[in-house]
Structure 1
Amino acid sequence: MTATPTPFDAGLPAAPSTPPPLAINQPSATATNAEKPTILHLGDDIRWNHGLYAELQRKFHVERSYSMGREEFKKALVERKWGDFVGMYRPFWNTGGEMGNWDGELISLLPKSCKIYASAGAGFDWVDTKTMGENGIIYCNAATSCTESVVDLAIIHLLSTYRALPWSFLAARSGSPSDFHTANQTIASVTHNPNNSILGIVGLGRIGARLAWKAATAFEMRVWYHDVVQFPERETGIPGGAKFCETLEELLANADCVVLCTPFDGSVLLSSPQFDQFKFGSRLVNIARGKLVDEDALVKAMDEGRISAAGLDVHADEPHVNMRLAERRNVLVTSHTAGASVESHVGFERLGMENLLGWLERGREGTVSAVNLASLREG
């Protein structure tokens, strides 16, 4: 008797309760394991893309590390437990990462044969992609697979900053008639529609551009953005266009709501000097990385009214959430789940395998989502 699918799995193939019949190291009819290059599969079994995984097994000899701690993983690398593998595959962000950050120490232990690492997830602040590139290893993320999920939650956070959703939700959930009555009678005087206000996006990559399109289409928001370069072709794809701000200061001084969609490069983006540049009473949404924001400075900016509301899916000290922010009724906090959907996971699995198969066929030109080609040392 099969289990009833959960709502989150509706319309998608259910994950098998036992591993699929394909053997992990199943010999190919055209090549023996000794003739095939080896890849190391980190973490759990795949759940959805079994046909593509079979293709991966035909082209590669697949070794498995499953889940292990950092010291055990380092010992296995030193002992060459998995041989001279050419690549690594991590289909899920919540397994296979128990060895911690991929820093210089860990990268130095990889065999010289390793040339590609295809991993789930959009952010890559946990991996030193520059050092990987300098060691001849292409790092591929899977940002395109979770774009819709991330943007949809960003929209929820954006709306929450305009419409006081945390306050209304908590008042209703409290069961207190007094709290309900206060919210019911008061919220209308302090909330606004987002229509025609300026949405300031920091980082007009895939996620930023998709957010801009949805916000402009659904809510008629005017889009301004700041990035290291201008993207004229993306500007024209947004209803009403988008205004490029050469400086972050220009964006902060004019936006009614600022959304962070930029990677974390190792330094804080918003601290007291930047919050002082925000338009008074504006809003902040962060669906990028928590360490981009100095949370003490954000608390101060909210105390002063400089920031009137915030939506935070990511936090500076995860899994610890800053309670001076979380306990405010004008702040929506979620648990770094913007990209967390079944559709994202299906895409993570698929994109990682497509990167590996493309690399095998055409080298760096065959990769779909490499992020460190600028620092790649080939040879």
Structure 2
Amino acid sequence: MPKHKILHLGDPIKYNHAMYTRFASQFDIIRPPAAERDRPAFKQALKEHRWGDFDAIFRPFWNTGGEMGRWDEELISLLPSSVKIMASAGAGYDWVDVDVFAKYGIIYCNGAAASSESVADTTLFLILSVFRNLRWSHTAAHSLNSTQFLDAHTHAPLTARNPRTQTLGIIGLGAIGYTIARKVHAAFGMRILYHDLIRKSTEMERAVNATYMPTLEGLLGAVDCVVVATPFTGRRLMDGEMFGKMKRGARFVNVARGGLVDEEALVEAVESGQVGGVGLDVHANEPYVHPRLAGNAKVMMLSHNAGGTVDTHVGFERLAMENIEGFLVRGRAVTPVNLHLIEGAGGGGGGGTTSSTSSKL
């Protein structure tokens, strides 16, 4: 039997060498050079059928192998009909039209499960930051200015709260959202409400003291801090109207994608006091951040590093291989994102555990 062909996009494997040796022994690996990975060259190679009829696309790193830009109809339509799966590093998939992949019967698998621990840890830091006004205190201490130090020392506690006394709302209880809930429950003992397209089992809810909210509006009005942990699918989630539905003075944390938030509306909400504190790992116009948010003492910002650990990168690499092996060898992908779209269209496809597209998978 001829071996399945895998198109490997990006740099060579860095961590899971033994696993890659087995992976490479099972499949024929095709790795285009960097010059063939920018969009015009990549499209031309596909049109010329330069790599033949390959069966899977393998992208084990989030910061390399994506030189061709957005995977949309224009690009996906050029793939040979033999392609049945793409497995990529990274948690979000705003750069991929997963519905178009489904249209062509291609399963898209991401690596969110590998970043869940890292993202959840950072989310705890941001939750603590917004409740304890840590940005204010941190900036004042680093200023080397005694007046600023004393101002933060005196006034920051006046609006600070212990997380345990507050209610947390999580938008999107997928792999990352549920890990956030588990850690928040264990570390802070907070009451948790969540909104998702698909409700979790009673056992999973009880394990983290979580209550399902069927509407986003209902969630926003009932919690003291909102955490966004859902993927960007081309539509803003939080705009001026939605911020207006939050409790006055409630906190807001985004560890998903910057495009989910209208930053101008967020600025207005913070400056008016409607939102009492903000924690952002992601931004709408990365690598640029909103200057009024950056200059506000109520806003703690990071540089999209929530999932950025060596452990995450090791997991991304491993999970991408496991998805392709699982599908091509055993007929079942591990973390399919769009399988429900393929099955819903009657396209069949390999099985796997999938969750709501409102969860950050």
1:65 pairs, out of 32, 39, 55, with 32
For residues 93-121 of structure 1, the C-alpha deviation after alignment (integer angstroms, 9 at most, x for no partner) is: 00001110100101011111111101001
Does residue 292 of the first structure (1) align with residue 260 of the second (2)? Answer: yes
Distance across 1 between alignment mates of 2:323 and 2:211: 34
Structure 1 counterpart of 2:204, one-letter code: R
Distance across 2 between alignment mates of 1:88 and 1:66: 15
Distance across 2 between alignment mates of 1:354 and 1:246: 34
Structure 2 counterpart of 1:339, one-letter code: G
Does residue 367 of the first structure (1) align with residue 337 of the second (2)? Answer: no
Aligned to 1:301: 269
- Which stretch has the larger CA shift, 63-72 or 295-304? 63-72
Does residue 234 of the first structure (1) align with residue 204 of the second (2)? Answer: yes
Distance across 1 between alignment mates of 2:214 and 2:341: 25
For residues 325-364 of structure 1, the C-alpha deviation after alignment (integer angstroms, 9 at most, x for no partner) is: 111111011111111110000001111111111111222x
Distance across 2 between alignment mates of 1:158 and 1:41: 38
Does residue 267 of the first structure (1) align with residue 267 of the second (2)? Answer: no
Aligned to 1:10: none
User: Does the aligned pair in 2 maintain the 1:41–1:66 contact within 8 Å?
Assistant: no
2:189 pairs, out of 193, 200, 220, with 220
1:199 pairs, out of 142, 161, 168, with 168
Does residue 329 of the first structure (1) align with residue 313 of the second (2)? Answer: no
Q: Percent identity?
A: 49
Equivalences for 1:314-325 in 2 at 5 Å?
A: 314-325=282-293
1:351 pairs, out of 285, 296, 319, with 319
Distance across 2 between alignment mates of 1:180 and 1:123: 39
User: Does the aligned pair in 2 maintain the 1:44–1:66 contact within 8 Å?
Assistant: no
**TM-score (structure 2 length as normaliser):** 0.92
**TM-score (structure 1 length as normaliser):** 0.88
For residues 235-275 of structure 1, the C-alpha deviation after alignment (integer angstroms, 9 at most, x for no partner) is: 0111xx21111111111111100000112221111111111
Larger radius of gyration: 1
Aligned to 2:14: 47
| Counterparts in 2 of 1:66 and 1:167: CA distance versus 1, 3 Å | farther
User: Does the aligned pair in 1 maintain the 2:92–2:112 contact within 8 Å?
Assistant: yes
State the superposition RMSD in angstroms: 1.3
Q: Which runs of 5+ in 1 are unaligned?
A: 1-30
Aligned to 2:87: 118
Q: Which runs of 5+ in 2 are unaligned?
A: 350-361
For residues 30-77 of structure 1, the C-alpha deviation after alignment (integer angstroms, 9 at most, x for no partner) is: x8xxx3221110000111111111111111110102433111111121
Distance across 1 between alignment mates of 2:103 and 2:74: 14
What is the Cα deviation at residue 378 of structure 1?
4.8
Equivalences for 1:86-235 in 2 at 5 Å?
A: 86-231=55-200, 232-235=202-205
User: Does the aligned pair in 2 maintain the 1:287–1:312 contact within 8 Å?
Assistant: yes
User: Does the aligned pair in 1 maintain the 2:172–2:195 contact within 8 Å?
Assistant: yes
User: Does the aligned pair in 2 maintain the 1:85–1:111 contact within 8 Å?
Assistant: yes
Aligned to 2:216: 248
Task: Determine helix, strand or coil for the equivalent of 2:176.
Answer: helix
Task: Determine helix, strand or coil for the equivalent of 1:188.
Answer: helix
Distance across 1 between alignment mates of 2:341 and 2:166: 40
User: Does the aligned pair in 1 maintain the 2:133–2:157 contact within 8 Å?
Assistant: no
1:75 pairs, out of 44, 63, 67, with 44
Task: Determine helix, strand or coil for the equivalent of 1:254.
Answer: coil
Structure 1 segments of 4 or more deviating over 4 A? none
Aligned residues: 342
